[in-house]
Amino acid sequence: MYDTNISLCGIKLDNPIIPASGTFGFGEDFRQFYNLNILGSIALKGTTSERRFGNPTPRIADTPAGMLNSIGLQNPGIDAVILGELPKLKKYFKKPLIANISGFSVEEYAYCCGKIDREEQIGIIEVNISCPNVKYGGMSFGTNPEIAADVTRAVKAVTTKPVFIKLSPNVTDITQMALACQEAGADGICLINTLLGMRLDIKTRKPVLANIVGGFSGPAVLPVALRMVYQVYQTCNIPIMGCGGVSTAEEVIEMMMAGATAVQIGSMNLKNPYICKEIIENLPTVMNRLEINSLQEIIGAAHNCH
């Protein structure tokens, strides 16, 4: 029997697999494919204080080994999530959820986190200071250590649940950002959000995305995500949720060996709605092949080999 259980800030998950925010909505569209309760948890769609319609279209583009998106935080707003989405989810998902909160000011982050913290279904609050697809706020918070620390302190002052800060890879030194958040009281770090990218339409000679640039995700970003998880694990002593380019059970193991306690699956959900189910089902087989009895034991294992 292979033990896939992990503990994330005292919350026990049956396995480390979590659909990443923005790739799974609020779960409704995916419940037709499989029982969502096989998942470790679900990171809900990024939520702001007010309803947002997002960026103009086109805002999705395919690219080799990945995709570009510039959705722009389209969401129904914090009140609609609390009053509408959470009660719906409660009917078919029985595990603690991860709320993903975005904002355009420190005050907005604090306001939304304070509200969602009171919801029984929420186990962890993921604070997204790294969205590259909005003109103000978002990633600007995630590229300055002082501002990232300000957001972290403001959120921690109004919450009781574990707070993970989701960081941008579009920085010179990811460890500086992670340390700033840890010192400001963060309970964990989520790495990474999307890289900045673009494509051109050579017929029209114009950018493919209406927003010009977008977030680049998919298999091509895995080596970048792994490198950053590895570096932050070396530098910080709070848990990491790894995210970026993961699409197989083997890559989940790799991400955990680099230092991740849990692993989020992102854009592959959009290409294969069964991807999380397939990874969860394949994990014991891969563990058997690699002679791993417990996933909890391999967290950061790559750091013990020097």
Give yes or no: 131 in active site: yes
CA dist., res. 174 & res. 270, Å (int): 27
Residue type, 208: V
φ, ψ (nearest 5 deg) of residue 227: -60, -45
- How far apart, in whole angstroms, are the C-alpha atoms of residue 225 and residue 243? 7
Q: Choose the catalytic residue: 112, 131, 190, 243.
A: 131
Residue 297 CA neighbour count, 13 Å, CB half: 9
Helix (H, G, I), strand (E, B) or coil at 97: strand
CA angle 57, 220, 132 (to 5 degrees): 40
How far, in Å, are 32, 92, 285 from residue 81 at the CA level?
21, 16, 37
Placement of tokens 């995210």 in the chain: 243
Known catalytic residues? 131
